[in-house]
Amino acid sequence: MQLGMIGLGRMGADMVRRLLQGGHDCVVYDRNAAAVAALAGEGATGTASPAEFVARLAKPCAVWLMVPAAAVDETIASVAPLLAPGDILIDGGNSHYHDDLRRSRELSTQGLHYLDVGTSGGVWGRERGYCLMIGGEPAAVRRIEPLFATLAPGRDAASVTPGREARGGTAELGYLHCGPSGAGHFVKMVHNGIEYGLMAAYAEGFNILHHANAGAENRAVDAETTPLRHPEQYRYELNLADIAELWRRGSVISSWLLDLSAAALLGSPNLAEFAGRVADSGEGRWTVAAAIDEGVPAPVLSAALYERFSSRDAADFADRLLSAMRYQFGGHREKR
């Protein structure tokens, strides 16, 4: 079937490639003409403007936006006036689901169907397929289901969950209509919140292994340094790449993130090419905000988020105030 794709960055372009490979017809547009030309060379129909883009789409059409979250509203503003009632507009990026609620309300006045599709898969998606979390009206979802089926990893991407056969549904195929507008990005948001937590669990664990030789280090002996009571218990020089590889087989904590950690540590045991300033792209924040709105505790997901903030020195003033208090009550001076 046909899909129009706006936004040909890494994700958008690879999704087009996967759709083309699956026999679909793709009309593409991007401000960057070179990106359009590249995909045109691979079988897509390239266009040079939103107007030409919409003109090339058969009615009713489906337009998928794969642009940065901050650019979604302006992109909608540039294309929605060109669309007709019954057309479908899909936001496949990392929008906040609050924006989905607003956009679907606004676009419905024009007769347009808005779908929010949380998309996980990263740079591996073209090959592995994309995990698709979909929100919006059921009829619109059904209409373009063949596209979702092609983009998704498919049944064989994982082993069968006992009892699943009897259940049916599309979750096993790697895409799911989660609920009404916003539900797709809500589920994707929590997915990323969990992702932060998983990543932090591994990071903390490997950090503890990394410091397992703490007892072998020379330690300052002064009132500002806690002595290690039993240095003989911390004299291990552990091979983290081997341990990550080991845990991939048979252990309770095997996962795709562990696979990636094993690959990273194999190539670079000390990860010295990284500075440790960890970005966050918003979903972790929104997940914690949702937990707080709902009144449910999320200490692990919050700790994972805060660790990223701290890695970017955002706790510095707080730390200076701690040192200032210690100086005030105890005359303690900072060790440099």
Question: Interaction with a copy of itself in 78-117: which residues (CB under 8 A)?
Answer: 96-98, 101
* Residue matched to tokens 């347009």: 112
Minimum separation from the CB atom of position 98 to a copy of itself (A): 6
* Residue 17 engages a copy of itself in binding (rule: CB under 8 A): no
Distance CA 228, CA 48 (A): 66
Site for a copy of itself in 173-202 (CB under 8 A): 173-176, 178-180, 182-183, 186-187, 190-202
Site for a copy of itself in 276-295 (CB under 8 A): 276-282, 285, 287-295
DSSP strand pairing (88-91 vs 113-120): parallel
What number of chain residues touch a copy of itself (CB under 8 A)? Answer: 173
Distance CA 54, CA 78 (A): 11
Site for a copy of itself in 218-257 (CB under 8 A): 221, 223-230, 232-239, 241-243, 245-257
Query: CA neighbours within 13 Å on the CB side: how many for 316?
Result: 4
Is 335 a known active-site residue? no
Site for a copy of itself in 136-155 (CB under 8 A): 152-154
Q: Which of 106, 137, 145, 195 is catalytic?
A: 195
Q: Which of 188, 273, 294, 335 is catalytic?
A: 188
Site for a copy of itself in 25-54 (CB under 8 A): none
Sheet strand arrangement including 45-46: 45-46, 25-29, 2-6, 62-65, 88-91, 113-120, 131-135, 175-179
Q: Could you say which of 78, 104, 124, 141 contacts a copy of itself (CB under 8 A)?
A: 124
- Neighbour-count burial of 184, counting CB atoms closer than 10 A to its CB (0-12 exposed, 13-18 middle, 19+ buried): buried
Is 59 a known active-site residue? no
Distance CA 280, CA 285 (A): 8
Give the residue with the Cβ less far from a copy of itself, 49 or 233: 233
Both structure tokens of 218: 């020379």
The residues that are catalytic are: 188, 195
